[in-house]
Amino acid sequence: MQDDPVIRVVSKVMIPTVMLFALYVQFHGDYGPGGGFQAGVIFASAFVLNAMIFGLNRGRHVWPANLNLLAICAGVLLYGLTGIASLFLGANYLDYDVLGATAKSGQHIGILLVEFGVGLTVASVMVALFFTFAGRLTHIRLMSKMQAHEEASPPASKTKTKAKKAGGRS
């Protein structure tokens, strides 16, 4: 769809708006409806929109897979480590009272951290799910190419793949 000017222009306006809205939902969750789960899904939808309009490959460049896997783990770890931090400060696991100067500010810091962890996990999980489902066809093609490469005799296959690669790049 990247050759369609209407969709391209509107998406360039809408994607930052969607991300801004996700951040609003994430950090306004204490005062209105919202929180990490909703914000994560909305944030992921911005990446999904980007990938749907500009193609999967460019979508992957915006948010690389390795970074995304790290983000999935980092979100869960942030949640768990918040609990461990309160454990080290002498309270129970996930008891945020001790994180700040007063109990109330401690609760605020704890909830902010935990919600951020949830948002990070949910957003990157949704992006990963979308790219896995949408990239399945390319994955199968690559796998079959690899199989053909393995089955053919080494010198013949080498020239073949080289030719293919050159053709694909040009």
Site for other proteins in 115-144 (CB under 8 A): 115, 117-118, 121-122, 125-126, 128-140, 142-143
Question: Does 29 participate in binding other proteins (rule CB under 8 A)?
Answer: yes
Question: Does 152 participate in binding other proteins (rule CB under 8 A)?
Answer: no
Question: Does 19 participate in binding other proteins (rule CB under 8 A)?
Answer: no
- Out of 14, 19, 87, 98, name the contact with other proteins by CB under 8 A: 14
DSSP codes joined into one string, the chain: -TT-HHHHHHHHHHHHHHHHHHHHHHHSTTTSS--HHHHHHHHHHHHHHHHHHH-HHHHHHHS-HHHHHHHHHHHHHHHHHHHHHHHHTTS-TT-GGGTSSSHHHHHHHHHHHHHHHHHHHHHHHHHHHHHHHHTHHHHHHHHHHHHHHHHS-HHHHHHHHHHHHHHHH-
Q: Using CB under 8 A, which residues numbered 36 to 55 contact other proteins? A: 37-38, 40-42, 44-45, 48
Q: Using CB under 8 A, which residues numbered 75 to 104 contact other proteins? A: 75-76, 79-80, 83, 93-94, 96, 103-104
Size of the site for other proteins (CB under 8 A): 72
Amino acid at 137: L
Smaller CB distance to other proteins: residue 1 or 62?
A: 1
Least distance from other proteins to the Cβ atom of residue 12, Å: 11
